[in-house]
Structure 1
Amino acid sequence: MLTCLGDADDTVAALLTGASGVAPLRFVDTEKLFVGFGYPIDDGDRERSFRASSWLTETVADAVRESGLDVSGKRVAVVVGSGLRELRSLERWHADGAGATLRELHFDAAVRAVLPEATEVLTVSNACSAGGYALALALDLLALDEADAVVVAGCDSMTESMLTMIGRVGDELVTELRPFDRDRGGVLLGEGAAALVLEREPADGRPVLARILGVGLSCDAHHETAPDVAGIVAAMRDAHTRAGVAPEDIDLVLAHGTGTALNDPTEARALTEVFAEAGGGLVTAIKGATGHTSGGAALMSLLVAVEAMRRGRLPAVIGLADPIDEAADLAVLAGESVPIQARIAQVNAFGFGGVNAVTIVEV
């Protein structure tokens, strides 16, 4: 993956030390937008078009190479989750005359630049849970024998229109994203990409880093933007059923944790309801360090969960100092990273319109 903190190794290392990638925004009129900070990727002094596509290309290439997958003669599909696709490039084309073609606004060309053998490239645009939905679709493709392997990816860059929306809903300038904190001020955007290779079982003995046990989905349509406890609980329980696990089997939870007035208490209530009898494992979230990365968020949290379990150390929630009352019965990790012995993790991702995806992963 690529985040404001660097590549996958850099990102995990930074999370474990409590680092944050928050920084002043560039390339936009921050006074006009009333948003001055975010978690941007610093990739030059001038804004390039199709930044999300470039990160996607890099992470897909890295994932395929590191997996050791031999793509020759195999049906390799690619599913990309994105909340905004290449909207920023469209904005620049409209406002600044930067060149863009319709073909470039989809991710087919970006993927085929490094994986020309791909049998198909699908884009899933399911708001902030797009990466989770892409993973669910990939599982279906494998289960239906429509692919031998699936590259699952997610990506997004910041857009002026989304920054404008964020700036309209706050009374004060937000300087950091603080998940589950009583003094949270609201969401700030991050950007980047993540990718992984999913197979039923490597036939050539290549090592398996983790197993996706199931992805639970719900689309509750409760409200355009406000999350709903019942819809989130339904996705969690669907995930547990598909994975064949019970709440007491979950060792840790990577929460959605957006630092907003509604999401954090709603997610905390849902987690409390689902894990009430089981007690539940540790809960953490990464957006306080990476910002809200939209389409890439679910897969970034998934990769962090896998690495945390493999390394035996869990990062704390960056920006959390005084937990909200709704999280009182949850073991939300604040302060410093802690050693863990964990085998199964739950990864939450929720989007506008009640588009919810919950992943269960085992190492």
Structure 2
Amino acid sequence: MNRIAVTGLGAISALGASLEDNWQAAVAGQSGIARCIMGDSEYGPGGLELPMARVADGYEAALDAKFGRPVAAGLDPFARFILAPALEALEQSGLRGHEVLNERTAVIFGHGLGGLATLEAGYERFFGMKSARMHPSTVPRVMLSAGVSAVAMAFEIRGPVFATSSACASSAHAIAQGAAMIAIGQVDCALVGGSEAVSTAGSVRAWEAIKAMSPVTCRPFSADRDGMVLGEGGAVMVLEAWDHATARGATILGELVGWGMSSDAFHITQPSPEGQARAMRQAATQAGALNRDDILISAHGTGTPLNDAAETQSLVDVFGEAARKLPVIATKSAHGHLIGGSAALQAAIGLRALAEGLAPPIQNFTARDPACDLDLVVGEARKIGSKLLLQNAFAFGGLNVALMFAGAED
């Protein structure tokens, strides 16, 4: 089985338009969360004000400038949010224009909901304005595979190209799938990750209806946590067969050493610690890390009462009481919940944390909760000696993924 190197990373979120921007903001304790008024269309209900983490205006022009041609206008925001970090990750890896970006490269991205902005605009046109005609590009902009197709066409990648969709675990499933294809030798390289653009008026109303969103801010593991905050953006990592990467002299940023996947088969929205623990145990076992004490936990950490308590229990189930001594970060407190794109963004920031020996703080934390008795990194960034990163991703429907990465020098 081939070892799997990470040779490129890219990101865009409310924290910034590159991974470096995201890392610097997260480690400095800066937040991309701000109060937004949603639903101001004359055809919509309007008037809803909630904290959100939205990408700053101007990224479309910046994307066009990077490609030297117009690319943004023809894509839904969720696809733009994957094309930008794909370019960044490929350039860092040194693979842009490389011959491997043909039949020996896969593109696999995860998205929970796809082109909501386009879909809502079409419905507004049809139901609100009573227009008999939909925009002719509605279908290709809405489809979940629009992002992978845009990247494949932009970089002339002719290998396996497809999208995964498993709600908040989507990009983690995409990373695991790309890793598996490299491990068995089906491809030499895979662009993996995910994105989301769900901060639309209708989407926000839907999330509000299930009482999942905080009216204040995202406070993972804090005793007064009261819900998540929606974010938008995306992240991409370049995975590569280890021998292929070293043969071309690539800089290796880390190694994916284990992954686990499970289903709770329990409840459509309520988490199961048992199911989460199965995924984590698989990843830790594959990585030989069940008894390691140098693991940085990048928690799913949504800031909802049930999720954070369940994740705490599942960590203790897997690592025993030693789990309470492992440093825990939860960067959704800074960039919000990107739904399908969260795991990829959190993993990219987590890999930087390993490389820098510095864990970004959990923001907005106010009070300890006995149900979340973990070594939470709060207040300010903390120096760490961690050599491994565990990235958790848990989704509605009881779908769980755990990814274990080693730092570049482990």
Kindly indicate whether the alpha-carbon contact (under 8 Å) linking 2:37 and 2:48 is maintained by their aligned counterparts in 1. no
Residues 197 and 350 of structure 1: is their aligned pair in 2 closer, same or farther, counting only changes over 3 Å?
Answer: same
Q: State which drifts further: 243-252 or 76-85.
A: 243-252
SS of the residue aligned with 1:296?
helix
Q: Give the Å deviation of 1:327.
A: 1.5
Q: 2:327 aligns with which of 282, 288, 302?
A: 282
Kindly indicate whether the alpha-carbon contact (under 8 Å) linking 1:25 and 1:40 is maintained by their aligned counterparts in 2. no
Q: State which drifts further: 168-177 or 246-255.
A: 168-177
Q: 1:230 aligns with which of 255, 263, 274?
A: 274
Aligned to 2:337: 292
Q: Does 1:86 align with 2:115?
A: yes
Kindly indicate whether the alpha-carbon contact (under 8 Å) linking 1:72 and 1:117 is maintained by their aligned counterparts in 2. no
Aligned to 1:272: 316
Q: 1:101 aligns with which of 138, 154, 174?
A: 138
SS of the residue aligned with 1:94?
helix
AA partner of residue 274 (structure 1): V
CA deviation string 1:46-88 (max 9, x = no partner):
9976111112111111111110125315511100011111122
Q: Give the Å deviation of 1:247.
A: 4.0
TM-score, normalised via structure 2 length: 0.83
Aligned to 1:121: 161
Q: Does 1:63 align with 2:73?
A: no
Alpha-carbon distance between aligned partners in 1 of 2:163 and 2:286, rounded to the nearest angstrom:
24
SS of the residue aligned with 1:162?
helix
Alpha-carbon distance between aligned partners in 1 of 2:315 and 2:309, rounded to the nearest angstrom:
10
Residues 141 and 2 of structure 1: is their aligned pair in 2 closer, same or farther, counting only changes over 3 Å?
Answer: same
Q: Give the Å deviation of 1:99.
A: 5.5
Q: Give the Å deviation of 1:192.
A: 0.3
Kindly indicate whether the alpha-carbon contact (under 8 Å) linking 1:34 and 1:168 is maintained by their aligned counterparts in 2. no
Aligned to 2:99: 72
Alpha-carbon distance between aligned partners in 2 of 1:271 and 1:191, rounded to the nearest angstrom:
27
Q: Give the Å deviation of 1:3.
A: 0.7
Q: Give the Å deviation of 1:35.
A: 4.8
Give the 5 Å matches for 1:1-363.
1-6=11-16, 7-25=18-36, 28-29=39-40, 32=46, 34-43=48-57, 50-69=76-95, 71-73=98-100, 74=102, 75-96=104-125, 100-104=137-141, 105=143, 106-107=145-146, 108-158=148-198, 159-170=200-211, 174-201=215-242, 202=245, 203-279=247-323, 280-328=325-373, 330-363=374-407
SS of the residue aligned with 1:12?
helix
Percentage identity across paired residues of the two chains? 31
TM-score, normalised via structure 1 length: 0.93
* Greater gyration radius: 2
Q: State which drifts further: 103-112 or 238-247.
A: 103-112
Residues 318 and 98 of structure 1: is their aligned pair in 2 closer, same or farther, counting only changes over 3 Å?
Answer: farther
SS of the residue aligned with 1:103?
helix
SS of the residue aligned with 2:186?
coil
Kindly indicate whether the alpha-carbon contact (under 8 Å) linking 1:78 and 1:120 is maintained by their aligned counterparts in 2. yes
Alpha-carbon distance between aligned partners in 1 of 2:49 and 2:308, rounded to the nearest angstrom:
21
Kindly indicate whether the alpha-carbon contact (under 8 Å) linking 2:38 and 2:46 is maintained by their aligned counterparts in 1. no
The runs of 5 or more residues in structure 1 that have no matched partner are none
Kindly indicate whether the alpha-carbon contact (under 8 Å) linking 2:330 and 2:362 is maintained by their aligned counterparts in 1. yes
Alpha-carbon distance between aligned partners in 1 of 2:258 and 2:319, rounded to the nearest angstrom:
18
AA partner of residue 154 (structure 1): G
Q: Give the Å deviation of 1:100.
A: 3.0
Alpha-carbon distance between aligned partners in 2 of 1:85 and 1:172, rounded to the nearest angstrom:
20
Kindly indicate whether the alpha-carbon contact (under 8 Å) linking 1:61 and 1:114 is maintained by their aligned counterparts in 2. no
AA partner of residue 403 (structure 2): T
Alpha-carbon distance between aligned partners in 1 of 2:288 and 2:356, rounded to the nearest angstrom:
25
SS of the residue aligned with 2:260?
strand
Q: State which drifts further: 128-137 or 274-283.
A: 274-283
Q: Give the Å deviation of 1:166.
A: 2.2
Q: Give the Å deviation of 1:244.
A: 2.1
Q: Give the Å deviation of 1:323.
A: 2.4
SS of the residue aligned with 1:92?
helix
Alpha-carbon distance between aligned partners in 1 of 2:25 and 2:327, rounded to the nearest angstrom:
19
SS of the residue aligned with 1:128?
coil
Alpha-carbon distance between aligned partners in 1 of 2:265 and 2:135, rounded to the nearest angstrom:
36
Residues 44 and 84 of structure 1: is their aligned pair in 2 closer, same or farther, counting only changes over 3 Å?
Answer: same
Q: Give the Å deviation of 1:309.
A: 1.1
AA partner of residue 71 (structure 1): H
Alpha-carbon distance between aligned partners in 2 of 1:250 and 1:227, rounded to the nearest angstrom:
27
Q: Give the Å deviation of 1:163.
A: 1.3
Alpha-carbon distance between aligned partners in 1 of 2:216 and 2:31, rounded to the nearest angstrom:
12
- How much is the aligned-residue C-alpha RMSD, in angstroms? 2.3
- Counting matched residue pairs gives 362
Kindly indicate whether the alpha-carbon contact (under 8 Å) linking 1:321 and 1:335 is maintained by their aligned counterparts in 2. no
Residues 34 and 184 of structure 1: is their aligned pair in 2 closer, same or farther, counting only changes over 3 Å?
Answer: farther
Q: Give the Å deviation of 1:116.
A: 1.8
The runs of 5 or more residues in structure 2 that have no matched partner are 1-10, 61-71, 126-133
Alpha-carbon distance between aligned partners in 2 of 1:55 and 1:24, rounded to the nearest angstrom:
21
AA partner of residue 254 (structure 1): S
